[in-house]
Amino acid sequence: MRPVTLLGAVVATLVVTLLVPVPPASAATTYTWSGAESTVWGNKKNWRPEGVPKDGDAVELGPGPRPTITDVPDITLTSLSVTGSTDGLVSMTGEGQVITGSLRWNGGDINTDLMVSAPPLDPTPSYIMMSDTPMHFGNGTSSLTGHQTLTINSTLSLMTGPLGAGDGPWLTFMFDSSMRIASTGKLLVDPAAKVLGSRCCSGATSTVIVDGTLEVFSAIGATGSTARLDELGIDLAGDVVVPKGNTLEITGGPIRVGGHAVNGTVGDAALKGGGTVDINETDGEAYDPAHPLLPDGTLKFIEDGEKLGLDDDTVLRLGPYTEVSGVGSIVGKGAVELAGARVRGRLTMADAVKATTEPGTQTTIEVWDRTRAGQTGLLTPAGGLRVEPGSTLRVMGGGGRLVMPDQATLEVPAGAVLDSGGCCTDTGRVTLQKGSTMKVGGGDGGDPAVLRWVELGGQGTVAHAGASTWDLAGTTFVSGARITGEGTIAGDVPAGPADIRPSGILTVDGDLTTNIAGVYRPTVAISRTDTIAPQRLVVTGTAALSGQLRPIGDTTYPVGRRVVVLEASTITGGYQCAVAGGMILDPAATTIGLRAIEARVSDCLRPAPRALLSAAFAGTRRIDLRIPDSAQSVLVDVTVSGAQRGTTLKLSAGRGTVTLQVPRRRTVTRQLEVPVAARTRLTAQLAKRARVRIGQMGYAF
C-alpha cells in the first residue's frame, strides 16, 4: 500500500515556513482565470475580477472554457495555484518569468520560467500534488520549446493527492527544461514519486540541479518504497537525502558531481540518510575528447579532485548501464555497490567506504582516453573491495588498473571472477600496494575463485584459501610482496620476488617460478620427529627455484635429520642459500630438504661441499677456498687425529681466528664457521703434528 504522506508533508513544511518572520501583507487581489474572451494574459476580460494581475497579486488557474493562458509576462505573485483536469489542457505559457511566494500545483502544464521563492512573499506551504491529472513543465510553444527552469528557493513538496497517484509519471519535464534547487531550497519528494524527462533519442537532457537539498520524505517514516527520476540529468553540488529503508532510483541522464558554484564557491555533494541511491543508467550527450570536462553520458566528476560524500551509511549503487568518468573520490562513511557499472575515469573510494560487486553482474574498469586523466580507467578502493560470488570484475586490457592501497583488502572468494576480458598483451593490471591484502578463494561460492589474464603485482599480500584457478598474464611483484595460505591453485604461479609463506599445504597444480629476490618460508618443527614440514609447497609441475629459503619455527633437530620443505614433480635451479640455524639445504630431484647440522649459522648458508685438506703436518697450510667475494663466512667440517701431544688448530681467513683444542691421542670432529675477507685464502695453523681433514660444507652471505 502506498504511504500517505500528504498531511505530514504539509504540516512539516508549514512549521518550517512559520518559523520565518513575515512582514504585514500589503493589499493584494486574487485573480481567477476565466478565459472569457481569449487566451492572452494581458486581456482584463479574461480575469475575475476584471483586470490584469500585477506584482503582489495571486493567480488561480483551473479548468474552464479556455484553460490556457498565453503571453505570460515577468511577474511576482504572492501565490500561484494551477489545478488541472484529466484532459490535460490546463496550461500557462509565455516568455516571462513567474516568481511566486507559494505554489499549489494540482495538475496541468506550466510552460514559463517559474521560481518558488522564500517568504515573505507568501508563507503558505508550496506543493506539487499528484492525483490522476497529468502535469508537465516546460513544454512551451514552437518558438519557446523547452529551456524553462523551475527554481526552488524555499521548501517545495512533491506529494501524492488524497486519492493517490496513478502508475504514470507524477511530473514530466519537457524537452530540456530543468529544475534548480537553490542553495536555500529544499525539494521533499514522496518515497513513491516518479519524475520523468521527456527527451527521446536526441537532444539535450532535462536536468535537476541540486545546490540545496533533494530529500525523499515521508511524514510517517514509511520505508520500502522507491522514488524514481527517469531520463533526467543531475547536477549535484548539494545534498541528496534518502532515509534508511528507502531508495532513490536515477535512470537516464548524465550526472555531474560538482562543477558549479554554491554561494560563489564550488560545493561538495553528499548522499545522506542511510538509504540507497541507485544510479541505474547514465545517458545523454556523447563524450567529446576535445572538451573532456563537458557533460556526457556518464557520472562525471567535473573538476579534478571533486568529492562525493556518503554519510549515515548511505549506499550508492552503480547499475549495469552506468559509466563513471572524471577525476574524483567518494568519501565519508557508506558503501558502494558495483552492479555492472563501467569505471572509465580515475575514481578513489575513501577508507570508510566499503565497495562490493553485485552477484550476476560484470563491473568493468577500462581506459577510454589515455591522454585524459579523467578517462584512464583507474579504481582505488581504499576501504576495500569484495567481488561477490557469481559476479565478475573486469579490469580491461589496454591499461585498465585496479590499485589496492595500504590497509585495503581485495576479496575474490569462491565463485567470483577477476579477469581482463582478453589475453596476451597490454592486459589489465591489479596492483597491491605495500600493506594491502588480496584474499583469493575461501567462502561458500561452490566454484573456485578465478583470476584470468590480469597482471598481478605490487608489494602487498596474496592470501589464499580453498580452491582457485589462476591463468595470469604475468606478475610484477616487487620485493616485500607475499603469497600466503593453503589450498589448491590450479594454474601456474609466477611468484618472482614474492615472499611465499604457506599456512598449511599450499598446492600449485601447475608450475611455480621464483627469482633471485624471492624468499620461501615454510614452517618446520611442529614436532621434532617430523621428516616433512607441515606448512609447505607442493608443486605438481615444475618448480623453477631461485632466491632464499628462510623457514619459520624452531630448526633444532637431531643432527643428520632431513626435513622435506617442498615437493615437486620436477625441480630446476635451486635456492641459493638457507637461513636456518642448525640446518643446511639438502636438495634432491623432486624435493627440497633441510638437514640438521651441528653448527648454527645465522647468515644465509649455501651448501658447497668440497674437500679442502687431508694431511699430517705441523705448522701452516694455506688453502684456496674458491668462494664468492661477497661471502661473509665459510662453514667447514674439521677432524683432527693422531696428535701425540695436546695441540691447537687455528683457522683464519682474514677476519678473525677460530681455534680448536685437541687433546693428545684423541680424535676431535667439529663444524666450524670461519669469518672470511674477500680474496683471502684459508690458513690452518697446527702447533703440534697431527692429521687434519678439512671439508667445506658451504659458505654464508
pLDDT one-digit tens code per residue, 582-620: 999 999 999 999 999 999 999 999 999 999 999 999 999
Both 159 and 198 in a single domain? yes
Average confidence (pLDDT) over 179-189: 95
What percent of the chain clears pLDDT 70, i.e. is strictly above it? 91
Strands (E), 273-365: 276-282, 299-321, 323-338, 342-343, 346-349, 353-357, 362-365
Average confidence (pLDDT) over 164-179: 84
| 164 or 335, higher pLDDT | 335
Q: At a CB cut-off of 8 Å and minimum separation 6, what does 41 contact?
A: 52, 53, 69, 70, 71, 72, 73, 92, 94
What percent of the chain clears pLDDT 90, i.e. is strictly above it? 77
Q: At a CB cut-off of 8 Å and minimum separation 6, what does 489 contact?
A: 464, 468, 469, 470, 506, 507, 508, 509, 510
Q: Using the 3D structure, point to which of 179, 197, 231 is the last residue of a domain.
A: 231
Please indicate, yes or no, if residue 380 is contained in any of the structural domains: no
Both 625 and 690 in a single domain? yes
- For 497-524, what is each residue's pLDDT tens digit? 999 999 999 999 999 999 999 999 999 9
Cβ atoms of residues 210 and 239 within 8 Å: yes
- What is the predicted pLDDT for the residue at 9? 38
pLDDT band at 330 (very low <50, low <70, confident <90, very high): very high
Is pLDDT at 125 greater than 60 in this prediction? yes
Both 521 and 650 in a single domain? no
Please indicate, yes or no, if residue 137 is contained in any of the structural domains: yes
Is pLDDT at 103 greater than 70 in this prediction? yes
All 3 cell numbers of residue 537? 609447497
pLDDT band at 344 (very low <50, low <70, confident <90, very high): very high
Is pLDDT at 261 greater than 50 in this prediction? no
- What is the predicted pLDDT for the residue at 8? 37
Q: Domain with 619 in it: what CATH number?
A: 2.60.120.260
Both 37 and 131 in a single domain? yes
Please indicate, yes or no, if residue 79 is contained in any of the structural domains: yes
Is pLDDT at 390 greater than 60 in this prediction? yes
If we measure between CA atoms, which residue out of 13, 21, 14 comes closest to residue 120?
21
Instruction: Please state, in angstroms and rounded to a whole number, the distance separating the CA atoms of residues 221 and 5.
Output: 9
Q: Using the 3D structure, point to which of 544, 566, 596 is the last residue of a domain.
A: 596
If we measure between CA atoms, which residue out of 29, 110, 98, 102 comes closest to residue 67?
110
Both 51 and 77 in a single domain? yes
Please indicate, yes or no, if residue 217 is contained in any of the structural domains: yes
- What is the predicted pLDDT for the residue at 698? 97
- For 481-502, what is each residue's pLDDT tens digit? 999 999 999 999 999 999 999 9
- What is the predicted pLDDT for the residue at 551? 97
Q: What is the dihedral of CA 134, 140, 146, 150, to 10 degrees?
A: -60
Average confidence (pLDDT) over 152-168: 81
If we measure between CA atoms, which residue out of 653, 669, 655, 664 comes closest to residue 687?
664
Helix, strand or coil, per DSSP, at residue 569: strand
Both 629 and 648 in a single domain? yes
DSSP code at position 243: B
Is pLDDT at 124 greater than 90 in this prediction? no
Please indicate, yes or no, if residue 547 is contained in any of the structural domains: yes
Out of 525-529, 551-555, 637-641, 683-687, pick the least confident: 525-529
Q: Which domain holds residue 159?
A: 1-231
Both 647 and 689 in a single domain? yes
Q: Using the 3D structure, point to which of 210, 231, 252 is the last residue of a domain.
A: 231
- What is the predicted pLDDT for the residue at 245? 97
As a whole number, the mean pLDDT across the chain is 90
- What is the predicted pLDDT for the residue at 422? 83
Please indicate, yes or no, if residue 566 is contained in any of the structural domains: yes
Please indicate, yes or no, if residue 633 is contained in any of the structural domains: yes
Q: Where do we find the cell 633441510? A: 594
| 327 or 65, higher pLDDT | 327
Is pLDDT at 228 greater than 80 in this prediction? yes
pTM over 0.85: yes
- For 613-654, what is each residue's pLDDT tens digit? 999 999 999 999 999 999 999 999 999 999 999 999 999 999
Both 35 and 77 in a single domain? yes
- For 290-329, what is each residue's pLDDT tens digit? 776 677 889 999 878 899 999 999 999 999 999 999 999 9
Both 591 and 692 in a single domain? no
- What is the predicted pLDDT for the residue at 3? 38
Please indicate, yes or no, if residue 585 is contained in any of the structural domains: yes
- For 213-227, what is each residue's pLDDT tens digit? 999 999 889 899 999
Give first-to-last CA distance, the chain, whole Å.
78
- What is the predicted pLDDT for the residue at 162? 63
DSSP code at position 253: S
- What is the predicted pLDDT for the residue at 146? 55
Both 136 and 203 in a single domain? yes
Number of domains forming the structure of the chain: 3
If we measure between CA atoms, which residue out of 436, 461, 466, 427 comes closest to residue 449?
466
Vertex 293: Cα angle to 208 and 173 (nearest 5): 20
Is pLDDT at 7 greater than 80 in this prediction? no
Both 568 and 610 in a single domain? no
Both 590 and 625 in a single domain? no
pLDDT band at 130 (very low <50, low <70, confident <90, very high): confident
